[in-house]
């Protein structure tokens, strides 16, 4: 039998505290180290929230990427004033930062903000790498490169909105991506043929679009057939 040291009430063998007054039960048979560990109000281990870890890593990577940009800009401005080669470094760093580092700063995934920054980064990257310093390239950029980038960006945004609106089956997602590739191939061929005078670009785009359309038709049949959907899910472990 054991009794409470405060009020004298008989205690159960498995009791951790008195049922009447709430006094903690101390078992003298337990090792002293365990009792001391239970009495310790604070843990000796340092706990760092995951959000702080992610932001610290992003901050370190940002500083590492910023140093060469500052050095290259300084050298370009002081010693090599004939061109803007430091913009190539800055544009590449910006694109890598947007794609790889920026997600670490956000508490949750923001797909639409990432889509906008990725599109902006790709547009700036292509402009500085293929237009800056080349005469006559501005026309090529605005008539060919920029429309192709915007077309791809619009199709990606359309896919994001479509997926977010409702839960979709994986076969239907694959069907939608295949249809996007078909549309993009057709648009690219059209832009390259009539915007940059690339021979047979439109014909190649049409061929790729027809192949994608045939694959999309097969996927549509698989999606509408319950047996085919079950067979594909079983075969691909989806």
More confident residue, 177 or 75: 177
Contact 76, 84 (CB under 8 A): yes
Provide, for the chain, the percentages of residues in helix, strand and coil under a 3-state DSSP scheme, each rounded to the nearest 5.
70, 5, 30
Tell me what pLDDT residue 186 has.
92
pLDDT digits (tens, 9 = 90+) for 44-102: 555 545 566 777 888 888 888 888 888 888 888 887 666 677 777 888 888 888 888 88
Tell me what pLDDT residue 35 has.
46
Tell me what pLDDT residue 30 has.
60
Contact 152, 184 (CB under 8 A): yes
CA distance 160 to 228: 26
Contact 217, 207 (CB under 8 A): no
Q: What is the mean pLDDT of residues 10-26?
A: 75
pLDDT-above-90 percentage for the chain:
17
pLDDT digits (tens, 9 = 90+) for 121-165: 888 888 887 776 666 678 888 888 899 999 999 999 999 999 888
Q: Beta-carbon neighbour count of residue 127 at 10 Å? A: 19
User: For residue 34, is pLDDT > 50?
Assistant: no
Average pLDDT over the chain, rounded to an integer: 80
CA distance 237 to 41: 49
Tell me what pLDDT residue 1 has.
63
CA distance 146 to 230: 42
Q: pTM of the entire structure? A: 0.62
């Amino acid at each position: 039998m054991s009794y409470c040291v405060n009020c004298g009430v008989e205690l159960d063998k498995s009791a951790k505290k008195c049922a009447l007054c709430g006094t903690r039960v101390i078992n003298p048979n337990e090792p002293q180290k365990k009792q001391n560990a239970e009495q310790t109000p604070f843990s000796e281990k340092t706990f760092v929230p995951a959000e702080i870890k992610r932001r610290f890593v992003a901050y370190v990577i940002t500083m590492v990427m910023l140093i060469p940009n500052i050095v290259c800009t300084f050298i370009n401005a002081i010693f090599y004033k004939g061109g803007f080669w430091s913009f190539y470094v800055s544009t590449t760093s910006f694109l890598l930062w947007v794609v790889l580092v920026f997600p670490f700063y956000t508490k949750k995934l923001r797909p639409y903000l990432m889509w906008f920054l990725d599109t902006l980064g790709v547009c700036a990257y292509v402009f500085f790498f293929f237009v800056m310093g080349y005469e006559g390239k501005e026309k090529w950029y605005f008539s060919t490169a920029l429309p192709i980038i915007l077309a791809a960006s619009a199709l990606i945004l359309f896919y994001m909105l479509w997926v977010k609106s409702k839960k979709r089956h994986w076969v239907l997602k694959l069907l939608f991506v295949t249809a996007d590739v078909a549309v993009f191939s057709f648009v690219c061929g059209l832009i390259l043929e009539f915007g940059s005078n690339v021979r047979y670009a439109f014909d190649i785009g049409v061929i790729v679009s027809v192949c994608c359309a045939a694959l999309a038709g097969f996927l549509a049949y698989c999606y509408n057939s319950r047996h085919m959907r079950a067979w594909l899910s079983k075969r691909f472990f989806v």
